[in-house]
Amino acid sequence: MRAMMYRGYGEPLESVEVEIPKPSRGQVLVKGQTSSVNPVDWKQASGKIRLIMPNKLPCTPGYDYAGEVVSCAPDVTGFAKGDRVHARIAGINGGASAEYALCGVDVLTKMPDTMDFATAAGLPLAGMTALQGLRDGAKLPMNDASERVLIVGASGGVGHLALQIARAAGATAIAVCSDRNAGLVRELGAQGVLDYNKPETFSTQPPFDVIYDCVAGDAGKWCGLLTKSGRYASCVPGVGTFARKAVSIFSSQSVAPVMLKSNAADLAVLDSLFGAGKLRVLIGKRFPLSALQEAWKHSESGRTTGKLIVDIAT
């Protein structure tokens, strides 16, 4: 099968022929239709985060995968050949940038009938980070109309899904993005928009119960906009976030670094929200698998709107 691979940190991606892998215990083999780019893919490949997220080298990168089941390990139940499935593949290398990939059934769901493969690949990693950040990190109740939520980076992969999940949870959701994306986030449900180039306007806002930071993890900058018992979560936690978390034991405000945990139950929650018409994946751009390097370059620019989809079966 064809796969994209880098042989060492900082080295370019190559298109290579490798053997189709065989599923072992708890796994299914999936023939891929689509994958999606997440910043972690190129961050890992650069080697800059190797101390916290090392790869096995050479590495076939990528975590989001959607396609059809080809075969199952003998112990697998609940999935069969031909099922349309998607997953955020677990494991240090992912392996989603290939014509076939192994997926553990603990992270796999059957796609809703109305879901297309681009949506199915765009949803898992970013969607679970959005869901877990709001629900588990920021303790957003999933049914409470009194909550006021601020999503920082609401036009990006994680942020645009977090915005819709906050709305689905009944909250009032305000988006932080650039002026050029204001219309787009309003279409996705934002009830107010703050331009990150005009931070002087932020302090006139009524305080927020929840702030979910999908950009920088600068807790110090945002906690001043919270209510006295407000909750801040960041999926980009920096030193400042951890320091603020440490001192938050003396405060009624809480600070939570978010680290995604792949699991099929949360992906099923996202599938249901999609099925109920409450969640859609905005497709920023599509690239063939052979142009993965170009897709990464686009992602690295920091200007992605929604998700970048990789078409495997082209």
Ligand X SMILES: NC(=O)c1ccc[n+]([C@@H]2O[C@H](COP(=O)([O-])OP(=O)(O)OC[C@H]3O[C@@H](n4cnc5c(N)ncnc54)[C@H](OP(=O)(O)O)[C@@H]3O)[C@@H](O)[C@H]2O)c1
- Please give the C-alpha separations between residue 203 and each of 72, 221, 236, 261, 308, in angstroms, as whole numbers: 55, 11, 23, 34, 33
Spatial separation of the C-alpha atoms in residues 164 and 273, rounded to whole Å: 9
Nearer to ligand X, 80 or 92 (CB): 92
The reply to whether 129 sits near ligand X by the rule CB under 6 A is yes
Q: Which amino acid is at 213?
A: D
Spatial separation of the C-alpha atoms in residues 276 and 148, rounded to whole Å: 23
Give φ, ψ of 53 to 5 degrees: -135, 75
The reply to whether 155 sits near ligand X by the rule CB under 6 A is yes
From candidates 36, 97, 262, 299, binder to ligand X by CB under 6 A: 299
Contact predicate 71/36, CB 8 Å: no
From candidates 5, 29, 177, 255, binder to ligand X by CB under 6 A: 177
Q: What is the token pair recorded at 234? A: 């960041």
From candidates 3, 166, 193, 260, binder to ligand X by CB under 6 A: 260
Query: Which region, judged by CB under 6 A, interacts with ligand X, from 1-9, 140-148, 152-160, 287-295?
Result: 152-160
Nearer to ligand X, 163 or 235 (CB): 235
The reply to whether 176 sits near ligand X by the rule CB under 6 A is yes
SS3 199: helix
Closest CA to 260 of 61, 63, 8, 15: 63
From candidates 73, 225, 236, 291, binder to ligand X by CB under 6 A: 236
Nearer to ligand X, 72 or 299 (CB): 299
From candidates 247, 259, 265, 276, binder to ligand X by CB under 6 A: 259
CB of 180 to ligand X, least distance (A): 6
Nearer to ligand X, 23 or 156 (CB): 156
- What are the helix (H) ranges across 116-189? 117-122, 124-132, 157-168, 182-187
Question: To which residue do tokens 């949506």 refer?
Answer: 119
CB of 290 to ligand X, least distance (A): 22
From candidates 95, 304, 309, 311, binder to ligand X by CB under 6 A: 304
Beta pairing partners, 66: 34, 86
SS3 133: helix
Closest CA to 135 of 252, 206, 244, 235: 235
The reply to whether 253 sits near ligand X by the rule CB under 6 A is no
Name residues contacting ligand X, limited to 30-89 (CB under 6 A): 38-40
Number of residues that bind ligand X (CB under 6 A): 31
The reply to whether 150 sits near ligand X by the rule CB under 6 A is no
CB of 16 to ligand X, least distance (A): 26
Question: Strands 100-104, 226-234: parallel, antiparallel or unpaired by DSSP?
Answer: unpaired
Report residue 200 CA to chain centroid gap.
29
Instruction: Indicate the length of the chain as a whole number.
Output: 314
CB of 270 to ligand X, least distance (A): 14
The reply to whether 152 sits near ligand X by the rule CB under 6 A is yes
The reply to whether 202 sits near ligand X by the rule CB under 6 A is no
List residues near ligand X by CB under 6 A: 38-40, 125-126, 129, 152-153, 155-159, 176-178, 180-181, 196, 214-215, 235-236, 258-260, 299, 302-305
